Amino acid sequence: MAAPAGSSSHRKLLNYVRTNLHRMDYPRYISRGWQIGSGVSESACKTIVGRRMKGRGVRKRGSTALCQLRAAYRSEPTVWRRDWSATAN
């Protein structure tokens, strides 16, 4: 059921959409091959964080850094290659 026009919920929704409309160009994102759903991220969290970092005998030290590196690698491979090669030299 939609919030009645003029209600607080309705105003909050309109404000949110106006503020974030520039982030909602889904046809362009899809044409560039970008993932627009949360399923890929959720699956990675379950697999990488849940299974690999919460397993028996797993060391937690450095796990935040590892998750950040994986997120950077998976989100934009060209940026990853550029940045990683710069640190290797």
Distance from the Cα of residue 70 to its chain's centroid: 11
HSE-CB at 62 with a 13 A cutoff on CA atoms is 5
The reply to whether 72 falls in a domain is yes
Residue 75 falls within a domain, yes or no? Answer: yes
Total domains in the chain come to 1
Whole-model pTM: value is 0.40
Assess if residue 69 is contained within a domain: yes
- The reply to whether 3 falls in a domain is no
Query: What does the buried/exposed string (b/e) look like for 49-79 if buried means 16 or more CB atoms within 10 Å of the residue's CB?
Result: eeeeeeeeeeeeeeeeeebeeeeeeeeeeee
Q: At residue 37, does pLDDT exceed 70?
A: yes
Asked whether 3 and 13 are in contact (CB, 8 A), the reply is: yes
- Residues 49-85 have pLDDT tens digits of 777 777 777 767 777 788 788 878 877 778 788 877 7
Structure letter (DSSP) for residue 56 = T
CA distance to 15, 16, 21, per residue, from 24 (Å): 14, 11, 5
46: domain range? 8-88
For residue 69, the model assigns a pLDDT of: 82
Q: What is the pLDDT of residues 2-36, one digit of tens each?
A: 667 778 999 999 999 999 999 889 999 999 988 88
